[in-house]
Amino acid sequence: MLGLGAMGTHMARSLHRGGDLAGVWNRTASKAQALAAELGITAFDTPAELARRCDIMVICVSADADVRAVVQELLPGIAAGSLVLDCSTVGAGTARELHALLAPRGTEFLDCPVSGGVEGARLGTLAIMVGGEAPAFERARPVLALLGKTITYFGPSGSGQAAKATNQIMCAGIIQVVAEAIAFAKAEGLPLPALIDTLGKGAGSSWYFVNRAPFMAKQEYPAGFRVRLHAKDLRICHDMAAAHSATLPAVESTLKLYDELIAQGHGDEDISAVFRLTSTLFP
C-alpha cells in the first residue's frame, strides 16, 4: 500500500485484515513506520523497494501530479507481471497516461477511484469504479473485495475515473440546490425538521438532502466530505469536460462557491457549508 492518508491508512488496515498486506510506504516515513510497527509488517524506504517485494500495489495519494510521482518512483523496482491499482481520484487522462507508461514493461495499471468516504474506507464498504484491461480487473478483484462492497468494471483505462467524475458532478449540483432550498424554506418560516422529514420521502429527495439538510438547519458543518477535496475533484470534471469543448454549469457555479468558502477559511468543512453562502441570498 502506497499513501497512508485519511483513506489509505484504513485501506491498508483492510488489506491487512484480509491477510494481503506485505508492507507500506508513505512520503512522510514516520506514518508508515508507525503503522508497520502496529501491524507487524514492513515499512519500505522507497516505492521501488516495495515494488521489488510486491506483485500487486495499491496507491492512494492526493492528486494527478502525486500519482505520477509515485508511479515514477515505483519504476526502478517494478517487474513484468505486476499490477498497479490506483485508488486516488485523478483525471481519466492521467490514468490513460500511466497505463500507457507501464504497459510496455508488462505491468498492468487499473484506475480504481473510490466513493464512500473515510467511513467506507474504515468499514471496507467502498464503492470502487474500475477502468483498464478486463483480465487485470479479474486479477485485482479479490484485493478490491477487501476494500469495498460495490466493485464495478466500466471499461478501458480512464473509465473508472470518468465514472467517479460523473458522481462528483451530481454531488456538486445536489449540495448546491439543497443549500438553496433550505435557505428558501427558512426565509419562508417553515418548521425545518418537519419539512426535511416530509420532503425526504419525496421525489426531490437525495442522500444529501436527508443527511445534510438537518445540519444546514442547525448551521453546523461536521467533518464529512471536505470542500477542498470536492473542489479538487470538480477541477478534474472541468478539465475532462473541456477536453470535449464543453462546460458544465453546475460544476462551474459550485466551484465559485467553494472558492469563496476556501477564501473565508472554510475549506476543511463538509461541503454542506455551502449553506453559509446560500443563506445570505435572503437578507
Q: Which parts of this chain interact with ligand NAP (CB under 6 A)? A: 3-8, 26-28, 31, 60-62, 66, 69-70, 88-89, 114-115, 117-118, 225, 229
The one-letter amino acid code at 243 reads: A
Phi, psi at 124, each rounded to 5°: 70, 35
Shortest gap between Cβ of 184 and ligand NAP (angstroms)? 29
Indicate the burial class of 62 (C-beta count within 10 angstroms; 0-12, 13-18, 19 or more).
middle
31 labelled catalytic: no
Give 74 or 183: the residue with its C-beta nearer to ligand NAP. Answer: 74
Q: Looking at beta carbons, which residue is closest to ligand NAP? A: 5
DSSP-derived secondary structure letter, 16: H
Instruction: Give me the catalytic one of 164, 218, 232, 256.
Output: 164
Give 108 or 233: the residue with its C-beta nearer to ligand NAP. Answer: 233
In sequence order, the β-bridge partners of residue 23 are 42
Give the three cell numbers for residue 66.
502525486
Shortest gap between Cβ of 259 and ligand NAP (angstroms)? 18
Give 93 or 200: the residue with its C-beta nearer to ligand NAP. Answer: 93
Shortest gap between Cβ of 228 and ligand NAP (angstroms)? 9
Shortest gap between Cβ of 30 and ligand NAP (angstroms)? 9
Phi, psi at 202, each rounded to 5°: -95, 180
Give 165 or 185: the residue with its C-beta nearer to ligand NAP. Answer: 165
Which residues, other chains included, contact 35 with Cβ-Cβ below 8 Å and sequence gap of 6+? 4, 9, 12, 24, 41, 43
Give 132 or 148: the residue with its C-beta nearer to ligand NAP. Answer: 148
* Largest interatomic CA distance in the chain: 65
Looking from the CA of 217 toward its CB, the CA atoms found within 13 Å total 18
Give 6 or 210: the residue with its C-beta nearer to ligand NAP. Answer: 6
Looking from the CA of 134 toward its CB, the CA atoms found within 13 Å total 2
Phi, psi at 17, each rounded to 5°: -55, -35
| Spatial separation of the C-alpha atoms in residues 241 and 239, rounded to whole Å | 5
| Spatial separation of the C-alpha atoms in residues 47 and 75, rounded to whole Å | 8
Shortest gap between Cβ of 6 and ligand NAP (angstroms)? 4
Shortest gap between Cβ of 232 and ligand NAP (angstroms)? 6
| Spatial separation of the C-alpha atoms in residues 51 and 84, rounded to whole Å | 10
Q: Which residues are catalytic?
A: 164
